[in-house]
C-alpha cells in the first residue's frame, strides 16, 4: 500500500525525527446495518472497498461512495513495523469524525470521541516485529447535541455542507518513551522580554526539561527546569532583542525541547518553532506588538472541492494562505472547523492572523456541554503554540445556546467556557459568542450585512449607545449584548459582512447567498465596493470579516469559485480589501 498521500510531517509544532506515514490505501467497509461488532470485522480478511486516507468517504479524492445516511464505517490496513529502538510506539490520527474504536492485531486498544481533536495513543504493548494489523470502527450521527460545525445531515440547511464521517487528517506512527511531550504552548511578553513555554507531558515525570531557541542555527536563548513530578512544565527564556513576528515580517525561531531523566537518559527530543509576538487588548484597542492593528479578514470555511475537509496536498493549504494575503487580507476567521495544523503552519510561516473557532452543536443538552467543553479545551492545547492564532472563538451566533437571553444555564455555559479558555491561555483575546448576544469576552464582534436603508455607522452608533438593541430582525431578534453586559468600551469588529453571491455562467438550483445576485462582474465589483466603502469610512470599527473566501457547494458568496478561481482579478480584490 502506498504512503505517498500527504507525505509531509502532519504536526509541525511537535516533530520527531522518526515516524511512519500510514496515509494511502486502506481497506474499507460501510457498516450500514451496524453488524461489524457482532461479526468481528476487526478480524475480517476480505473487504468490499478500498479508500484513500485521509479523505473522508464521498469526497472525490477518497475513491469511495457510500449512502450519506451511513453512521458506521470500518477501516483496515497492515503495516511493517520499523526496527525502532524505543520503549513504546504512538498511533496518531490528526482527526477522525466522530467516535473511534481502535484495534491492533485483533485487540481493542483504545477509543476516542470528537471529530476535530487529535488522537494520540500508545500502542507498543500490542505490536510485534514485522507485519501488524490496524482496524478502526468509526461511528457518527446526525445529532446536533454533538459538535458538528457546518456538516449537514441527510438534508442541508442553506448554509450547511455535505457531512463528514471517518478519517480526515493524516495517520502516522512514531517511536516514543512512556514519558514524552504531547503539547507545546508559547507566548512572548514584550515588557518582560521573555518567551513563556508550557510543555504538557504524557505522564508525571521527575527530571530535566530543556528548551533552546535558535535563529539560523545560532542559539539565542535556553532554559532548563526540573519537572518535580509534574505532567506540565513551564519555562521562561529571556530574549532581550527579539525579531518580532507579524504578518508583514513572519519571522520564526527554531525551538528544540528535550526531556532527560535523573539517570541522564534522554527520553524525548522534539523539534518545534515559535514566533515572538504579543497580542493585547488595552484601552479599547487591539494591538499587535504594542501597535493598534486593523484586522482585514475573510471568512474561510476550510472546504476543498476534492477532499471536503481535507486538502488534496500540502501545497493546496499553502495556496489558500497565499491567496488570502494576495487579496489584501491580513486575517482569516476559520469558520466552524478546527483547521488542519498544516494550514496553521503555513499561516505561521507566511504571516496570516487566525481566529480559531469551535465547531458548534445546535441542541443545548448535558451532552453538548460536556463534549463541546472537553473538545474545545483539547483544541486550545493543540493550537496555543501557533503565533498566527490571535483569538479563540468558542461560540458562533448563539448556535447551541439559542435561548441564552432567557435561560441562565446557557449563559453560564458561554461565560464558563470563556473563563476555562483563559485558564489555558491568557495571552490571546477570547471572543465568547461571535456575532451577537455578547455576555463575556475581550472583543465585541457583530454580524451585520448591508442595509441600504441605514448606514453602517448609524447602526453601530445605535448599538454603542444601547448594546442590548436588536442586531437581527424576525420572530426571535438577536440583541447586540445581553442585559447586564456592557461591551461598548471594547474593540468593536464587524466579523461577518458582505455575503454577495455571484454564479457567473453557472446555474445551481439550490444556490444560496445574501440578497439579490449581481448579473455581471461589473455589478459584482460595484456592490462589493459599496459595502466596503461603508466599512472603511466607519470611525468605530477595528476590523472586519468578509463573507467569504470561496464558494462552497451550494453557497455562492465567495470571492473565489470553489476551485479557487477568482471572480474578479486578484489585483482588483487587493485594491478593494487591502490596506489603504
Digit-by-digit pLDDT tens for the chain (580 residues) are 445 899 999 999 999 999 999 999 999 999 999 999 999 999 999 999 999 999 999 999 999 999 999 999 999 999 999 999 999 999 999 999 999 999 999 999 999 999 999 999 999 999 999 999 999 999 999 899 999 999 986 566 788 999 999 999 999 999 999 999 999 999 999 999 999 999 999 999 999 999 999 999 899 999 999 999 999 999 999 999 999 999 999 999 999 999 999 999 999 999 999 999 999 999 999 999 999 999 999 999 999 999 999 999 999 999 999 999 999 999 999 999 999 999 999 999 999 999 999 999 999 999 999 999 999 999 999 999 999 999 999 999 999 999 999 999 999 999 999 999 999 999 999 999 999 999 999 999 999 997 877 888 889 999 999 999 999 877 678 999 999 999 999 999 999 999 999 998 777 778 888 888 899 999 999 999 999 999 999 989 999 999 999 999 999 999 999 999 999 999 999 999 999 8
- Residue corresponding to grid cell 455576555: 439
Candidates 344, 380, 388, 383; CA nearest to 245 is: 388
The structural domains of the chain, ordered by start, are: 20-176 (2.60.120.260), 181-274 (2.60.40.10), 294-577 (3.20.20.80)
What pLDDT does residue 2 have?
A: 46
What pLDDT does residue 220 have?
A: 96
Chain centre to alpha carbon of residue 405:
28
Report phi then psi at 345, rounded to 5. -60, -45
Q: Report d(CA 255, CA 272) in Å as an integer.
A: 5
pTM of the model: 0.97
Beta strands in 284-443 (DSSP E): 285-288, 291-292, 295-300, 331-334, 353-357, 389-393
Q: How far apart are the two ends of the chain, measured CA to CA in Å?
A: 52
Candidates 70, 32, 73; CA nearest to 154 is: 70
Residue-by-residue DSSP string for 525-568: HHHHHHHHHHHHT-SSEEEEEEE-SB-BTTB---SB-TTS-BSS
Candidates 20, 157, 119; CA nearest to 79 is: 20
**One-letter-per-residue 3-state SS of 99-163:** EEEEEECCEEEEEEECCCCCEEEECHHHCCCEEEEEEEEEECCCCCCCCCCCECCCCCCCCCECC
Q: Report d(CA 209, CA 256) in Å as an integer.
A: 11
Grid coordinates given for 486: 456592557
Query: Would the CA dihedral through 261, 264, 267, 272 be positive or negative?
Result: positive
What pLDDT does residue 168 have?
A: 98
CA-based R_g, the chain, Å: 24
Q: Report d(CA 262, CA 265) in Å as an integer.
A: 7
Beta bridge partners, 479, equal 470
Candidates 555, 562, 500; CA nearest to 157 is: 555
What pLDDT does residue 347 have?
A: 98
Query: Would the CA dihedral through 52, 58, 59, 64 be positive or negative?
Result: positive
Candidates 462, 477, 409, 465; CA nearest to 439 is: 409
Beta bridge partners, 201, equal 181
What pLDDT does residue 506 have?
A: 75
Amino acid at each position: 500500500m502506498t504512503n505517498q498521500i500527504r507525505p509531509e510531517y502532519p504536526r509541525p509544532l511537535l516533530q520527531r525525527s522518526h515516524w511512519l506515514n500510514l496515509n494511502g490505501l486502506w481497506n474499507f467497509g460501510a457498516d450500514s446495518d451496524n453488524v461489524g461488532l457482532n461479526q468481528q470485522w476487526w478480524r475480517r480478511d476480505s473487504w468490499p472497498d478500498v479508500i484513500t486516507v485521509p479523505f473522508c468517504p464521498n469526497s472525490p479524492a477518497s475513491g469511495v461512495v457510500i449512502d450519506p445516511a451511513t453512521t458506521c464505517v470500518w477501516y483496515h490496513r497492515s503495516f511493517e513495523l520499523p526496527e525502532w529502538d524505543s520503549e513504546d510506539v504512538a498511533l496518531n490520527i490528526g482527526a477522525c469524525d466522530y467516535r473511534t474504536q481502535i484495534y491492533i492485531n485483533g485487540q481493542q486498544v483504545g477509543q476516542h470521541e470528537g471529530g476535530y481533536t487529535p488522537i494520540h495513543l500508545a500502542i507498543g504493548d500490542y505490536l510485534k516485529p514485522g507485519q501488524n494489523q490496524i482496524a478502526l470502527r468509526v461511528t457518527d450521527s446526525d445529532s446536533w447535541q454533538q459538535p458538528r460545525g457546518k456538516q449537514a445531515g441527510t438534508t442541508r440547511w442553506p448554509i450547511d455542507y455535505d457531512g463528514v464521517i471517518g478519517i480526515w487528517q493524516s495517520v502516522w506512527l512514531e517511536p516514543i518513551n512512556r514519558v514524552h511531550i504531547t503539547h507545546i504552548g508559547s507566548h512572548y511578553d514584550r515588557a518582560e522580554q521573555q518567551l513563556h513555554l508550557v510543555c504538557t507531558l504524557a505522564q508525571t515525570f521527575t527530571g530535566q526539561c530543556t528548551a533552546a531557541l535558535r535563529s539560523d542555527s545560532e542559539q539565542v536563548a535556553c532554559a532548563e527546569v526540573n519537572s518535580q513530578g509534574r505532567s506540565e512544565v513551564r519555562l521562561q527564556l529571556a530574549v532581550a532583542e527579539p525579531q518580532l513576528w507579524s504578518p508583514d515580517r513572519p519571522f520564526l525561531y527554531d525551538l528544540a525541547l528535550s526531556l532527560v531523566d535523573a539517570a541522564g537518559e534522554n527520553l524525548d527530543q522534539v523539534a518545534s518553532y515559535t514566533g515572538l509576538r504579543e497580542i493585547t487588548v488595552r484601552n479599547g484597542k487591539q494591538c499587535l506588538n504594542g501597535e493598534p492593528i486593523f484586522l482585514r479578514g475573510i471568512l474561510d470555511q476550510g472546504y476543498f472541492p476534492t477532499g471536503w475537509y481535507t486538502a488534496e496536498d500540502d501545497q493546496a493549504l499553502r495556496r489558500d494562505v497565499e491567496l488570502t494575503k494576495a487579496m489584501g487580507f491580513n486575517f482569516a476567521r476559520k469558520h466552524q472547523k478546527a483547521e488542519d495544523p498544516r494550514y496553521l503552519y503555513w499561516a505561521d510561516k507566511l504571516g496570516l492572523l487566525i481566529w480559531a473557532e469551535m465547531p458548534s452543536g445546535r441542541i443545548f443538552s448535558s451532552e453538548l456541554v460536556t463534549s463541546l467543553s472537553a473538545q474545545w479545551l483539547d483544541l486550545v492545547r493543540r493550537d496555543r503554540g501557533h503565533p498566527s492564532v490571535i483569538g479563540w472563538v468558542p461560540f458562533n451566533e448563539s448556535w447551541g445556546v439559542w435561548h441564552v437571553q432567557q435561560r441562565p444555564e446557557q449563559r453560564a455555559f458561554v461565560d464558563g467556557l470563556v473563563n476555562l479558555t483563559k485558564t489555558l491561555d491568557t495571552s490571546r483575546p477570547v471572543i465568547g459568542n461571535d456575532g451577537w448576544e455578547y455576555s463575556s469576552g475581550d472583543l465585541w464582534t457583530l454580524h451585520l450585512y448591508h442595509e441600504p436603508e441605514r448606514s453602517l455607522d448609524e447602526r453601530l452608533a445605535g448599538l454603542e449607545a444601547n448594546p442590548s438593541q436588536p442586531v437581527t430582525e424576525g420572530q426571535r431578534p438577536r440583541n447586540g449584548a445581553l442585559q447586564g453586559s456592557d461591551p461598548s468600551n471594547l474593540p468593536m469588529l464587524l466579523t461577518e459582512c458582505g455575503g454577495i453571491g455571484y454564479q457567473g455562467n453557472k446555474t445551481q438550483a439550490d444556490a444560496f447567498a445574501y440578497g439579490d445576485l449581481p448579473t455581471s462582474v461589473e455589478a459584482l465589483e460595484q456592490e462589493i465596493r459599496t459595502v466596503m466603502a461603508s466599512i472603511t469610512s466607519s470611525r468605530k470599527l477595528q476590523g472586519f470579516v468578509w463573507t467569504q473566501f470561496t464558494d462552497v457547494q451550494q453557497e455562492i458568496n465567495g470571492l473565489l469559485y470553489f476551485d479557487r478561481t477568482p471572480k474578479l482579478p486578484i489585483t482588483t480584490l487587493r485594491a478593494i480589501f487591502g490596506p489603504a
